[in-house]
Structure 1
């Protein structure tokens, strides 16, 4: 079996993919950050230092850390990958034949690392030295983007997610993030770490219009024992969940998918912003968003790919049955109602479990961290003065590609 395998949310984390953004953050301004799905602009150097602390914390727990920019640069070293990425990311439909060709000529001459940084970090008209005969160049100003930056690549959790013996390469809901998916398609197809390895691509590997069948990894919790918990959020639809569930059953990789409905709201963009798995019987939860009577369904199926859906009375009982535990311990966000709301907004629930009962979380969430500590959960604190402004915590910023089961 390939060691590209994620068997749970809580088993020992062995390998993880993260992204340390720099160029994309330098292109983030108060006038464009909302279009790019950021609530604020970040201090670039400080965000980088905080990310380094995050990476070093993971390494101190024996986790091998892969950096997206490096993987992308290596992938661009494969001629076929480079040609495919430049033609999909700089397509004639996006820019017109003439300008697309000129931009591709300029980019293809750059060193692979520089090209990887531009593909993830953006390129303005002023930064391209070539003169094009296309009408486009004279219609835009020097600060307009040819290639929009992708600051949300920081959240590697969403673009692809490993579930047991395979990966879902996720069609993203928002235009500002859809180009991210092609970077992951190229890496999983051509990078030496993945090319020729024995793993399943469940969903999303083809370039086509997925219409409303969107899914993002922040909503997908691989809770173990053949079960997967998925949030129906602002970004992950019932249609997307059915597609992934069907493929999991077809490949005999999961026995059950549990879907839970979330409010379609920015403050709880993904399931993992309001609920994460910390130990076999322990979850963090923000009850204001996930009440005990939240709508919940159980999806099962077989190798024909057919999905059978049944509504359940209680998501907690459904998870208890799937995990074979008598009673779940739900640790709610700490403090009074004001403090809890603030800490949820600052990703108190969005912790990354590195081994059972050991999690990485933002140090600023003191009330919630204290509750974790009292419940016997060890919190490895990381700073978030800048990183936290992107509205994502340690789980959002990590895509496990190798992790033990339970």
Structure 2
């Protein structure tokens, strides 16, 4: 039973009807990438700005029809009006970037200008010999990954996880989201479940939202990947246990840990598995069901802290072992070639805005597989023209143009951070 509360945040499943969601519309920070720094900034290539803006605009238009969309920059500007929030955030970012001398200059900026500076960066001033000879371009680096909202924070139950990013180029994003959740008046919850953003100096402690799927109140799926470490997961399990005891929950809970291969296309669990309906998920079959399937370890945790670890045969059977049926829909269909190509371009990375209502990139063979599983397909443009169709009783996939967005390394789930969902 999901506890009702006055919390303004709450995510107890992957598919509950969406009420609030964070987005960050890509801006000038994306245009600051060059062929030289693209790889360092975690991109496969530099991307064409106008096309990603158009694709992201489709995503935002659809989500605005079914939920309240919170733009990160707007929320950041709101909290930077608070002197305490401004002071704490600047101290953390400037300490990490190694430029505390900028504090007085930045602190004096209006909230709108400071928001812009934190997102698009502050160029290095060449006013000393050291700075003149420095290979750095920025004192505060731009944040071109910011539109991948999923990774830097997440809501689990009525609490927040502030991520500790695997790459230092994304640390500031997590600090920004941590500050927004702490100070924004529309994001009241039960506080932090895990503040991993403070673990900056521990290379064995990283955790990102793309690796965490909330199946129900008593079950999480967590990817152990190049972005999320076993040490962080152990800490998360302990934090969950403490939070549940505080909330007087007396049932055991389970965590299914999926050990992902260290590959560019599998940086997070949601690149091979996303939930589309109450009993349906889009999966990358080779790593979920095939001979190369990822190892899966089930952790069962009792209220007294007793933990039992058991390896299960695969993710689908692991879900069944804890009472969850999930029929797989193959990303790319049944052809291994199409599976590889479409998974590489985030074909398994879908975002649910209600049970059986999902947003996907346009991947021909994945969409055919979804149609065979009972889904109807509609373009984002048609959804905007005929919004009542989004309330239909049949399973529906809304497609957005993602050929350019996917080159950044993520799909619709990567670009969204749900804040509030209805119970299922």
2:73 aligns with 69
Is the 2:196–2:207 Cα contact (8 Å) retained in structure 1? no
Is the 1:268–1:289 Cα contact (8 Å) retained in structure 2? no
Q: How big is the shift at 1:146? A: 1.3
Of 57, 62, 67, 1:52 maps to: 57
Q: How many residues align?
A: 389
Distance 1:270 1:393 in 2: 11
Structure-to-structure mapping, 1:229-248, within 5 angstroms: 229-248=221-240
SS in 2 for 1:256: strand
Distance 2:422 2:323 in 1: 15
Is the 1:160–1:181 Cα contact (8 Å) retained in structure 2? yes
Give unpaired runs (5+ residues) of structure 1: none
Structure-to-structure mapping, 1:318-397, within 5 angstroms: 318-325=318-325, 328-335=326-333, 336-363=335-362, 365-377=363-375, 378-397=396-415
Q: TM-score, normalised by structure 2?
A: 0.86
Distance 2:212 2:197 in 1: 20
SS in 1 for 2:206: coil
Distance 1:322 1:88 in 2: 41
User: Which shows bigger deviation, 395-404 or 385-394?
Assistant: 385-394
Distance 1:110 1:274 in 2: 43
Is the 1:221–1:228 Cα contact (8 Å) retained in structure 2? yes
2:191 aligns with 200
Distance 1:139 1:49 in 2: 39
User: Which shows bigger deviation, 32-41 or 103-112?
Assistant: 103-112
**CA deviations over 1:89-135 (Å, ceiling 9, x no partner):** 112x743xxx522x22322232212211221222222xx6xx85x55
SS in 2 for 1:245: helix
SS in 1 for 2:399: strand
Is the 2:152–2:162 Cα contact (8 Å) retained in structure 1? yes
Is the 1:225–1:323 Cα contact (8 Å) retained in structure 2? no
Structure-to-structure mapping, 1:7-406, within 5 angstroms: 7-60=12-65, 62-91=66-95, 94-95=97-98, 100-101=100-101, 103-125=102-124, 136-140=130-134, 144-194=137-187, 197-204=188-195, 207-208=198-199, 209-252=201-244, 255-291=253-289, 294-303=294-303, 305=305, 307-325=307-325, 328-335=326-333, 336-363=335-362, 365-377=363-375, 378-406=396-424
Distance 1:210 1:160 in 2: 18
Q: TM-score, normalised by structure 1?
A: 0.90
Distance 2:67 2:104 in 1: 39
Give unpaired runs (5+ residues) of structure 2: 376-395
Q: How big is the shift at 1:404? A: 2.2
SS in 1 for 2:285: coil
Relative to structure 1, is the Cα distance of residues 392 and 232 closer, same or farther in structure 2, using a 3 angstrom cutoff? same
Is the 2:175–2:197 Cα contact (8 Å) retained in structure 1? no
Is the 1:9–1:221 Cα contact (8 Å) retained in structure 2? yes
**CA deviations over 1:211-240 (Å, ceiling 9, x no partner):** 412111001110114111111111111111
SS in 2 for 1:251: helix
| CA RMSD of superposed structures (Å) | 2.1
Relative to structure 1, is the Cα distance of residues 19 and 295 closer, same or farther in structure 2, using a 3 angstrom cutoff? same
Q: How big is the shift at 1:137? A: 3.0
Distance 2:12 2:241 in 1: 15
SS in 2 for 1:369: helix
Distance 1:162 1:210 in 2: 23
Distance 1:174 1:230 in 2: 19
